[in-house]
Structure 1
Amino acid sequence: MFSSLMPDVASTQAAKTDTLFFALLGLSSAIILLVLVLVATFAIRYRRGSRANRGSLPPILSREFEIGWTATTLFVFLFLFWWAGSSQLSALAPPKDAIEIHVVAKQWMWKTQHSNGAREINELHAPLGVPVRLIMTSQDAIHSFFMPAFRIKKDVLPGRYTETWFEASKLGVFHLFCAEFCGTDHSRMLGRIVIMTPEDYARWLTAQPEGDDLAHEGAALFATRGCSGCHAPSSPVHAPNLAGLYGRTVQLADGRTVTADDAYIRDSILQPGRDVVAGYEAIMPSFASILSDGEIQSLVAYIRSLATGQAGRGPALAPGNAIEGRPSGESDGAKP
């Protein structure tokens, strides 16, 4: 009966979420029913004028019974906490073989870009049975990427990257909503998730207008924005090289260490003076008013590709320990 009231189950995570939901619903219903029965029983038994013995507690309310049901309640709580926590934490880390799709939210639309450069607006095509990693950011207000059939809702924030992932388990077309009020036309910020067989998805991807993938776009930006003028091995400016940077632990000038992930690289481009790499001066300019969110995504993808040797065309970089570039004609500095 309850399943007919629920949205479609279209992902592996949705099935796990529903199992947890119905388990909690069943346990809560049983507790409510028990309390109601006890309240009704005691209200009738000990009503005014009844001959029930009120001078001593019934044997069932002994100290041993109190300890027993208290310990049982604690065990059930710890079990539910572990179950729900492990389920939620497992949904945070995508599998290593997940394909990558970038999402940019904007009043009032969803813009998506696949790894080969194919772009969509208010649609996201994905293959069945293949993990998909979504890297998301917003160009303006806070949005929330909500796919009911996948049981996924993730806030999309301006100036930050957020991530989620899913693995579709059902073919079809499913709803995409914004679940955070984001302005006048919030209710019209709708989209579709189109799940196809891997073969159909490959054909669809091939048929899309040709375009460079994100890493290639980032490589071109790296050169045109003058980043290579400081971050190339032959540069006279004392700035870090970026090859092999992504995923590494970076030592900062203030003694802290950070991991060079997507969020760190983005922050290094927009706020270069915040986390300066040890051994470098903080002379890199901010690109906050120069680069769009899409361009920053491309640059991050390019730097990520340098760690795997898949950068494609673009300036050759020797292994180093930190981050981004500068506009042409300006001196650059360091961060990773």
Structure 2
Amino acid sequence: MANDRAIVAIPMGDPAGIGPEITMKALSKQEIYDVCKPLVIGDAAVLEKAISIVGADLKINEVQVPAEGHYECGTVDVINLNNINIAELVYGQVSAQCGQGAFEYIKKSVELALAGEVKALATPPINKESLKAAQVPYIGHTEMLEALAGSEDPLTMFEVNGMRIFFLTRHLSLKDAIAQMTKERVHDYLIRCDRALQRLGVENRRFAVAGLNPHSGEGGLFGWEEVEHIKPGIELAIKDGINAVGPVPADSVFFHALNGKYDAVLSLYHDQGHIAAKMTDFHKTISITNGLPFLRTSVDHGTAFDIAGKNIASSVSMEECIKVAAQYAPSFTRSTL
């Protein structure tokens, strides 16, 4: 194994969800250790229970700092926050202690990343209801990382089978999302997306912007958003040196990106890009949060409370999440966007 493997922090997610078990499944595989040094931030008792559930041949090695880790398959290096009462842990149940625990794992991981002690974060799922029960003032990972890292409006990027998708808007109703599709926002996001790919080491970056309306509006026949905002925003970005085309009809742009015509697509709203990515490969769709002073990848599924603790959950997404973090970590630049 290479000696220059990056240390990737894995905050273990909501203890009542599938995060601990898919993390243990992933870390039972040599291929993960071939590409990085995984370090779990979590609760050792919860992880021991997860090891028992999945039947993995693993032992826990508690460390105080990342440099103390062994990083060898068969040994799971853990910074143990010891913040879960295991006797009160019920799989699949919303709980304040689990919401608070999940937040503390992320907070510690961010501190390590900001200090340069780990190169990247690879995050299992957390539960919004548990966060609310713990009175954690963030709705999810992105908002939490934004606040903890002191960043502003991070960019979400999906990657699956070499296709990259950015999102102009995130968790908004379609009506509210359309209201945000201004030429200024399209212009700004294309510039930021270009810088994001540059930070990940992608050269000769070519973007396509998805259309909103059928056939990208057909010059106003099916809506004026493309004419009045989306195309003018693209033209402004081109004047600033961004290699971008569009709007390209959404029923074809993702197919072309998947086949290498574009390095990334700017999706205009949440479901437009999510559907394209997850239909390509649901389990291997990985989320990358750009605009932070550190690299962060994430599985793109939830805590799956209905199957938590049953050794049913697939670890494919978690494995891919760690691998993508390891892939980009060597070329990632730490400056903010």
Shorter-chain TM-score above 0.5: no
Greater helix share, structure number: 2
> Scaled by the length of structure 1, what TM-score is found?
0.25
* TM-score, normalising length: structure 2: 0.25
Q: Which has the higher contact order (CA 8 A, sep 6+)?
A: 2
